Structure 1
Amino acid sequence: MPTTTGSDDRSHDDDQHAAAREDQLTTAPKSTEDDAKPRIDVSDAGSGRKRLDIRDDANARPGKPDTERRDGGGE
């Protein structure tokens, strides 16, 4: 009987989480595949701290939605 290591279990859990996230973000009536793209990057900042950065290519970004959207304005 094959055994798995803790990292294999985490990898499987990460894959399941990513699939569930994509399903959730693409089930709305007007959603697209772009809605499920990552919007943040998480990196190790040392000493057990994590750094969160908004991705430059993220469609949804913090700020005033009517003036700072990538597509130039509100809907």
Structure 2
Amino acid sequence: MSDEKSFEENRHDQLTSAPKATEADAAPRIDVTKHDGVTRIDVRDDAAVRPGPGQGDPAAEKDVPVSGD
């Protein structure tokens, strides 16, 4: 038996070690899928923390141009 922790165990320990951390802080935030040699990373719909401007940030209200438009 190995004493080394798995990636998920290390991630959980790191994300829950702060004084006010909760189990929710260690919840998964992305889904990774692989298909025909292509890796896709999607932010989960139920992720508590999401990339981009947050609610109440004026940048969140602006239309952001999409590349190619």
Task: Give the shorter-chain TM-score range.
Answer: 0.5 to 0.7
- Give the 3-state SS of the residue equivalent to 1:29 in structure 2: coil
Residue 15 of structure 2 corresponds to residue 25 of structure 1 = yes
Give TM-score scaled by structure 2 length. 0.68
Shift in Å, 1:16: 1.1
Counterpart of 2:31? 41
The CA RMSD over aligned residues, in Å, is 2.0
Query: As a proportion of its length, which structure holds more helix?
Result: 1
Runs of 4+ in 1 over 6 A off after TM superposition: none
Give TM-score scaled by structure 1 length. 0.63
- Give the 3-state SS of the residue equivalent to 1:52 in structure 2: strand
Counterpart of 2:48? 59
In structure 1, the gaps of 5 or more residues are: 1-12, 69-75
